[in-house]
Amino acid sequence: AQSVTQLDSQVPVFEEAPVELRCNYSSSVSVYLFWYVQYPNQGLQLLLKYLSGSTLVKGINGFEAEFNKSQTSFHLRKPSVHISDTAEYFCAVTDWSSGSARQLTFGSGTQLTVLP
C-alpha cells in the first residue's frame, strides 16, 4: 500500500524568501507523484507532476519539485514567494499496486502562509 507524509502542517515565510514544502512517500513499486494547490473554499489545482524522466520537474507559478528515489521524497520549492502563494499544498502519489484502478493517495496538506 502507498502512503504520503507531509512533514510540516504549517509553513510561514516572508514575501520574496525561498520556501521548501516537504513530502515523503512510501510504496513498494514505481510511483507517480503530484503536487496540488488549494486556495480557500476552492477545488485543487495541479501544480506539477512527476511521471518519468528528469527528476527535476517544473510547474506553474514558478514552483518546481525534485524526485529523489533513494530518499523517497518529492519536495516542492520556490525561490521567491509572493503573497498570492498563500494556500494549502497537497502532495499525492499513485502506483499500479491497486490493480486496474487508478487511485490517488494524498498527504494531509501543508498550509503555506506568506507574510508581508
Partner 1 sequence: DGGITQSPKYLFRKEGQNVTLSCEQNLNHDAMYWYRQDPGQGLRLIYYSQIVNDFQKGDIAEGYSVSREKKESFPLTVTSAQKNPTAFYLCATSKGQGATDTQYFGPGTRLTVL
Interaction site with partner 1 (CB under 8 A): 4, 9, 32, 34, 36, 41-46, 49, 51, 90, 94-96, 100-104, 106-109
Q: How far is the CB of 86 from partner 1 (least distance, A)?
A: 17
Residue nearer to partner 1 on the CB measure, 5 or 15: 5
Least distance between partner 1 and beta carbon 80 (Å):
27
Q: What gap in Å lies between CA 38 and CA 19, rounded to an integer? A: 17
Nearest distance in Å: CB 24, partner 1:
14
| Helix spans in 34-91 (H) | none
